[in-house]
């Protein structure tokens, strides 16, 4: 084949690729805007596992190796870019306030990376207080310490069960005792609460077999809480559907079983740095989209 023909075909191929890229960008932005602006009875922003760190030794962790950008059945190797944790949280707050404007924001634990990092607790609280919507928060392993009470000192105002637009929200710790579960069951029976009931907890209640196997292989942390079966029995006795939001696994996962609709969202501090938008319709229908923060790249857009 002549060089002229090769050059012609190469040029045509490049133009085709360019056309695909350009035409792909427009609809993506339009679809994003369409879903964000869709009317709903309740709009929730869920992000999790922000792992905020102010420790100088973590500052160099700013890039994600290509090996940690792929997932198998939703599970991927973990690599927290702690050097960017503050900037990522700040951007999530700006996107929430200026573009999404939800009714409520839920953060399901591991807000900081080290429980002795007092500056991280203080900075996280400052950022969350800038959100122009109620913020609900549950504790993760990285937030807990036997040596200090930073979590409750800085996040106490975010740790209360709320009712928003007629929907009931419940915050469940990782190791609830029997009295806590009995109290939860009584509250789940609220006849005036709109459907679905919404429960935030740190660890997953459901997970795939492959995810569990890979997690056991690469990390010592269990994906599910110690009292998972007792929690599920309590939730299953409720007469209404329950939306469960969680984190911990740094994985996007969705499963519907019995009356429970579980949504797990990946870590904000790990690639691709996502937050989840949830819309609940008049009939209780749950719709959701994931948005990498990179989709909101325009500073002009964020300043509107």
* pLDDT tens column, 122-131: 999 999 999 9
pLDDT classification of 174: cutoffs 50, 70, 90: confident
Mean pLDDT for 219-223 is: 82
Q: Phi and psi at residue 26, in whole multiples of 5°?
A: -60, -55
Mean pLDDT for 265-272 is: 96
Position 165 scores a pLDDT of: 95
pLDDT classification of 164: cutoffs 50, 70, 90: very high
Mean pLDDT for 24-44 is: 75
Higher pLDDT, 11 or 146: 146
Mean pLDDT for 143-164 is: 88
Are 42 and 162 in contact, with CB atoms under 8 Å apart? no
pLDDT classification of 25: cutoffs 50, 70, 90: very low
Q: Is the pLDDT of residue 22 over 80?
A: no
Q: Is the pLDDT of residue 17 over 70?
A: no
Residues 157 and 112: their CA atoms lie apart, in Å, by 17
Q: How far is CA 71 from CA 67, 202, 206, in A?
A: 9, 21, 18
Position 60 scores a pLDDT of: 85
Position 14 scores a pLDDT of: 44
pLDDT classification of 267: cutoffs 50, 70, 90: very high
Position 299 scores a pLDDT of: 52
Position 200 scores a pLDDT of: 97
Q: How far is CA 110 from CA 101, 190, 210, in A?
A: 24, 30, 24
Q: Is the pLDDT of residue 197 over 70?
A: yes
The strand pair at 242-246 and 253-257 is best described as unpaired
Position 12 scores a pLDDT of: 44
35's tokens: 């879903």
Q: Is the pLDDT of residue 28 over 70?
A: no
Are 274 and 296 in contact, with CB atoms under 8 Å apart? no
pLDDT classification of 5: cutoffs 50, 70, 90: very low
Q: Is the pLDDT of residue 251 over 80?
A: yes
Residues 267 and 134: their CA atoms lie apart, in Å, by 21
Window from 4-8, 135-139, 278-282 with minimum mean pLDDT = 4-8
Q: Is the pLDDT of residue 20 over 60?
A: no
* % of the chain beyond a pLDDT of 90: 68
Residues 53 and 62: their CA atoms lie apart, in Å, by 12
Higher pLDDT, 7 or 294: 294
Position 59 scores a pLDDT of: 81
Q: How many CA atoms lie within 13 A of 37 on its CB side?
A: 6
């Amino acid at each position: 084949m002549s060089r002229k023909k090769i050059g012609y075909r190469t040029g045509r191929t490049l133009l085709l690729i360019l056309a695909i890229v350009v035409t792909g960008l427009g609809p993506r932005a339009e679809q994003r805007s369409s879903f964000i602006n869709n009317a709903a009875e309740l709009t929730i922003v869920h992000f999790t596992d922000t792992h905020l760190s102010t420790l100088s030794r973590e500052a160099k962790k700013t890039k994600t190796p290509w090996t940690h950008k792929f997932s198998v059945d939703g599970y991927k190797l973990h690599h927290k870019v702690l050097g960017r944790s503050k900037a990522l949280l700040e951007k999530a707050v700006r996107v929430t306030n200026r573009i999404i404007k939800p009714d409520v924001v839920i953060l399901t634990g591991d807000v900081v990376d080290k429980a002795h990092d007092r500056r991280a607790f203080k900075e996280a609280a400052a950022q969350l207080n800038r959100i122009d919507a109620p913020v609900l928060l549950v504790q993760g392993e990285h937030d807990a310490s036997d040596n200090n009470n930073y979590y409750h000192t800085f996040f106490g105002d975010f740790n209360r069960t709320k009712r928003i637009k007629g929907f009931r929200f419940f915050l469940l710790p990782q190791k609830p005792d029997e009295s806590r579960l009995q109290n939860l069951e009584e509250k789940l029976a609220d006849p005036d609460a709109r459907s679905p009931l919404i429960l935030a907890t740190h660890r997953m209640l459901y997970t795939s077999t492959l995810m569990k196997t890979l997690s056991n292989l690469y990390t010592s942390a269990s994906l599910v809480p110690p009292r998972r079966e007792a929690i599920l029995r309590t939730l299953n006795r409720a007469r209404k559907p329950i939306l469960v939001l969680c984190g911990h696994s740094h994985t996007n996962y969705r499963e519907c079983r019995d009356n429970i609709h579980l949504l797990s969202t990946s870590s904000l501090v790990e690639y691709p740095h996502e937050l989840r938008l949830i819309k609940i319709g008049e009939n209780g229908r749950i719709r959701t989209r994931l948005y990498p923060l990179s989709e909101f790249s325009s500073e002009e857009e964020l300043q509107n």
